[in-house]
Amino acid sequence: MAEAALKAAQAEGEAKLLRAREAQAEDLLKASAYLFAAPENLAALSGEMKEFFDRTYYPVLGKLEGRPYAQMVCAGSDGENAVRQTARIAKGWRLKEVQDALIICTHAQTEEAILAPKTISKDDLQKCHDLGAALSAGLSMGVF
């Protein structure tokens, strides 16, 4: 999902993909916009994504106001709580949501399905692509 969005964003302008565990407060400060992409685990943001927000929240607090963001969540059934968590963090940073959250549901409901690698459909990858393109194009055109 993130790679589909990245490819589209790079076609429109400059974009960089960082895993949550690699991203630092300095990366947030350097960026003009954000596309947060995360899996939902047990009706919440993944631990890796939550750790990223925990680690970077206070070092950038008061320094990101008004920057645009969007988010995508890969969920087994719902995704709404992970979206709410990210939106609440973004609100604290005073980011501006420029696109409704994209939730891709894999319908993984058994232990086997949950633990298995996920395959995202072409239609859903296109939605990720479109989100990356729209965010990057809006930024390049000065819409945000």
Quick: pLDDT tens for 87-100.
999 999 999 999 99
pTM: 0.94
Q: Express each pLDDT in 20-76 by its tens digit.
A: 999 999 999 999 999 999 999 999 999 999 999 999 999 999 999 999 999 999 999
Centroid of chain to Cα 111: 25
In total, the chain counts a number of residues equal to 144
What are the extents of the domains in the chain?
A: 2-140
Task: Return the CATH class of domain 2-140.
Answer: alpha beta
Name the nearest CA neighbour of 74 among 144, 23, 4: 4
Distances (CA, A) of 74 to 14, 84, 95, 143: 24, 14, 22, 27
**pLDDT of the residue at 103:** 98
Residue 56's closest CA among 31, 39, 84?
Answer: 31
Rounded to 5°, the CA angle 138-141-144 comes to: 50
DSSP H or E segment with residue 22: none
